[in-house]
Amino acid sequence: MTVVPLMLTLLAQPASADAPSVVLANDSVLLAFERPYMGLTTMVDLSAELDHMSAAESPRPLWILTFKAGPGAYETVTLASTDAPCTSARTDGKTNATFRWDGLSIEGEPAAVDVKVRVDLPPDSGIAEWRIWVDNSSETYGLWEIRLIEIAE
């Protein structure tokens, strides 16, 4: 099964608020992120015409954060990119994108967490550069763990 023609069609769509996906591509790989949560839905090796992502029954999180309440605390709280829609998605329409989730609430603390993810796809590489920034202003919970882009379920 060849998926490349379908992916090239997605690439031609504008990256507007109504577009179903944000697509990044170079000569080696194509990545597609599905709105509104910006989960990675497609990762195609263009030379092999192979999509490495399996279909998911529910939206796949781009990131998952785990917080703990104080030293030695056993109580954990988890936030995921699927808990709230992405508040901002910017892309050059080719090889880089920045996604933001601003003002996330955590256990009764409104607007305590902001998350930014940047994806850069170098021109001659099949390996993307992934970066995540987390701003945690919670008075109760400290950031304990960050998981960014899980491919397998």
Higher pLDDT, 19 or 8: 19
The DSSP result for 31-98, as a single string, is EEEETTTTEEEEEEETTTTEE-PPP-SSPPPSEEEEEEESTT---EEEEEGGGS--SEEEE-SSSEEE
- Domain assignment present for 18: yes
Domain count along the chain:
1
pLDDT at 14 (0 to 100): 34
For residue 108, is it within any domain?
yes
pLDDT tens sequence across 93-131: 899 999 999 999 998 899 999 999 999 999 888 899 999
Query: What average pLDDT does the structure give for the chain?
Result: 83
> 112 lies in which domain range?
4-148
Residue 107 placed within a domain: yes
In a domain, 153, yes or no: no
Q: What is the pLDDT of residues 40-98, one digit of tens each?
A: 988 888 888 877 777 777 788 999 999 998 777 678 999 999 999 999 999 988 999 99
CA distance 16 to 91: 10
Please name the residues in contact with 57: beta carbons below 8 A apart, sequence gap of 6 or more: none
